[in-house]
Amino acid sequence: MREVFQKELAEVQGRLVEIAESVTHIIKDATEAFTTSNALLAERAIGMAESNESKALALDELVIRILSRQSPVARDLRILVSALRISASLERMGALAGHIAAIARYRFPGSAIPASLVGTFEEMGRLDVELASKVTELLRNTNVDQAREIQAQDERIDELHRHVFDVVLADDWKENAMFTVDVTLASRYHERFADHVVDISSKVSYLTTGEWHEGE
């Protein structure tokens, strides 16, 4: 029984890694589509975000079947409940990346960002891609050192998010309202994407270090 359960847990882990890999592809295509106005890449990211959702739902069903068959307790139960939450975060990250791609597609052949903010969004995009790739590694090998790097990169994204507002709200911002709307939303999506990475890494650290409080 224990052996079957370990195999099932490995299957859950493998699927989480696979979904995280797909999220990495989505955010990569989405941020490139957004900063270079590439409609084809935008389409691809949007399509991948849809199939990412199905993969997350299928994983949830697998976790529920395991819960039902194995009735795990203590740490094993925690791992499976965490898998459900991590799957929800990964699904949401795919959707957020899809939203960034959708803005790019909507404005095509025009750009969704003015020249003055291209550098900022390139950096945000690069950081989000790195974060997605780190979270994939974290899920694969549960190396908690990665969790610290993730924290630092999230702080940098928050900084860039505030910078976007500083630029947009400065007196010399003369761009039209369309640019203002697009950069506001895209910046918010990037920031939320990184928040989910931090949430996932906290859950993995918690489970790995065993520092989990059983509540009252």
> Are residues 26 and 99 in contact, defined by beta-carbon separation less than 8 angstroms?
no
Q: Which is nearer to a second copy, 5 or 149 (CB)?
A: 5
CA distance 200 to 198: 5
Q: Which is nearer to a second copy, 41 or 164 (CB)?
A: 164
Residues lying near a second copy in the complex (CB under 8 A) = 58, 61-62, 64-65, 67-68, 71, 73-74, 77-78, 81, 84-85, 88, 165, 168-169, 173, 177-178, 180-181, 184-185, 188, 214-216
- DSSP character at residue 111: -
Q: Which is nearer to a second copy, 24 or 189 (CB)?
A: 189
Exposed/middle/buried for 97, CB within 10 Å: 0-12, 13-18, 19+? buried
Instruction: Provide, rounded to whole angstroms, the least separation between the CB of residue 6 and a second copy.
Output: 18
Q: Which of 69, 50, 73, 72 is nearest to 61 (CA)?
A: 69
AA identity, residue 145: D
Instruction: Provide, rounded to whole angstroms, the least separation between the CB of residue 145 and a second copy.
Output: 27
Q: Which is nearer to a second copy, 129 or 198 (CB)?
A: 198
